[in-house]
């Protein structure tokens, strides 16, 4: 199976959501069916970056993961782009046979049988500020295949009041999925410094809102990697 890969890096720590702080190697797939207005990973999305993506076999990807992790099993994080537009089934099978765990981040627009072989499926439906519209039938199909995964969680990025209300509606319809919220990062240029105080202020705003509303269901987290390394790539 050949895969279009934008980058493979690590070990680092998972900076977002349910596995925050966990050591991991990232495999970032090239290509996405969405164009979120605020995407922080456009180098893995837009075709003008295609020349920097590598066509690799699953075996070669697996060799790199093993090399980066020193053959010590850890969690491999599949991200992108949308990893679900490709077939990661054989990479997952090879890794699991060696005791590695797999997590996948996807917007929930394309369902794949290999979701069932994951340890963690992170579904991240996109709020209005992204400019994308969620296909809820496709999202449900992802949920159904993800039932086989060890855990399935939802992560929503919040930029403004409209996104917040939207997240509350989505949670009301999917209240069985553990929910993680993270404030959006408005500065995604890897060369630009991030304003840590502005990030903290947006996190404080989001936490304050949920607490004031008595909405105690979500865990609300910063992007830990952004606090440490800013918008640097490959970390
Ligand atoms: C780059 S995406 C790749 C995986 C998949 N396409 C998705 O969106 O779930 C990984 C995660 O980063 C989040 N993300 C992207 N841009 C962001 C930004 N500017 N601020 C906060 N989170 C962002 C996405 O919502 C998603 O949860
Ligand atoms: N450390 C770290 N954590 C992350 N969590 C989600 C990421 C992503 O871009 O998918 C990401 C990333 O790029 N780096
Ligand atoms: S779905 Fe994910 S990778 Fe694709 S454009 Fe949106 S945030 Fe970026
Ligand atoms: Mg990211």
3-state secondary structure the chain: CEEEEEEEEEEEECCCHHHCCCEEEEEEECCCCCCCCCCCCHHHCCHHHHHHCEEEEHHHHHHHHHHHCCCCCCEEEEECCCHHHCCCHHHHHHHHHCCCEEEEEECCCCCCHHHHHCCEEEECCCCHHHCCCCCHHHHHHHHHHHCCCCEEEEEEEECCHHHHHHHHHHHHHCCCCCEEEEECCCCCCCCCCCCHHHHHHHHHHHHHHHHHCCCCCCEECCCHHHHHHCCCCCC
The predicted model scores a pTM of 0.98
Q: State ipTM.
A: 0.98
Q: Say if residue 81 is preceded by a cis peptide, omega within 30 of 0.
A: yes
Residue 93 has pLDDT above 90, yes or no: yes
The whole-number average pLDDT for the span 166-195 is 96
How large a percentage of the chain has pLDDT more than 90? Answer: 100
pLDDT value at position 164? 98
pLDDT value at position 1? 82
Q: What is the pLDDT of residues 5-37, one digit of tens each?
A: 999 999 999 999 999 999 999 999 999 999 999
Cα 23 off chain centre by? 15
Domain boundaries, the chain: 2-229
Q: What is the pLDDT of residues 95-114, one digit of tens each?
A: 999 999 999 999 999 999 99
How large a percentage of the chain has pLDDT more than 70? Answer: 100
Superfamily (CATH H level) for 2-229: Aldolase class I (3.20.20.70)
36 is in an annotated binding site: yes
Ligand 4 centre to CA of 159 (Å) is: 15
Q: Within 10 A of 215 (CB to CB), how many other CB atoms are there?
A: 16
> What are 122's strand-pairing partners?
105, 153
Q: Is 41 in the pocket of ligand 2 (CB under 6 A)?
A: yes
Q: Considering every ligand atom, which ligand is closest to the CA of 158?
A: 1
Closest-lying ligand 3 atom to the alpha carbon of residue 33: 4
Task: Give dist(CA 177, CA 218) in Å, integer.
Answer: 10
39 is in an annotated binding site: yes
Q: What is the pLDDT of residues 144-162, one digit of tens each?
A: 999 999 999 999 999 999 9
């Amino acid at each position: 199976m050949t895969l279009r890969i934008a980058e493979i890096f690590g070990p680092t720590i998972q900076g977002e959501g349910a596995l925050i702080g966990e050591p991991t190697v990232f495999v970032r797939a090239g290509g996405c069916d969405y164009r979120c207005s605020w995407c922080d990973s456009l180098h893995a999305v837009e075709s003008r970056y295609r020349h920097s993506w590598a066509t690799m076999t699953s075996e070669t990807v697996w060799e790199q993961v093993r090399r980066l992790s020193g053959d010590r099993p850890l969690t491999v994080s599949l991200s992108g782009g949308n990893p679900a537009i490709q077939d990661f089934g054989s990479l997952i099978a090879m890794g699991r046979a060696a005791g590695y765990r797999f997590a996948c981040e996807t917007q929930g627009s394309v369902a794949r049988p290999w979701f069932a072989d994951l340890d963690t499926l992170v579904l991240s439906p996109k709020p209005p500020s992204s400019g994308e519209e969620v296909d809820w039938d496709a999202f449900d199909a992802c949920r159904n295949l993800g039932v086989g995964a060890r855990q399935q969680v939802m992560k929503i990025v919040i930029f403004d009041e409209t996104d917040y209300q939207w997240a509350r509606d989505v949670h009301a319809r999917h209240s069985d999925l553990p929910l993680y919220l993270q404030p959006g990062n408005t500065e995604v240029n890897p060369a630009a410094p991030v304003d840590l105080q502005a990030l903290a202020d947006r996190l404080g705003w989001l936490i304050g809102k949920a607490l004031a509303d008595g909405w105690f269901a979500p865990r609300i987290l910063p992007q830990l990697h952004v606090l440490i390394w800013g918008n640097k790539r490959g970390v």
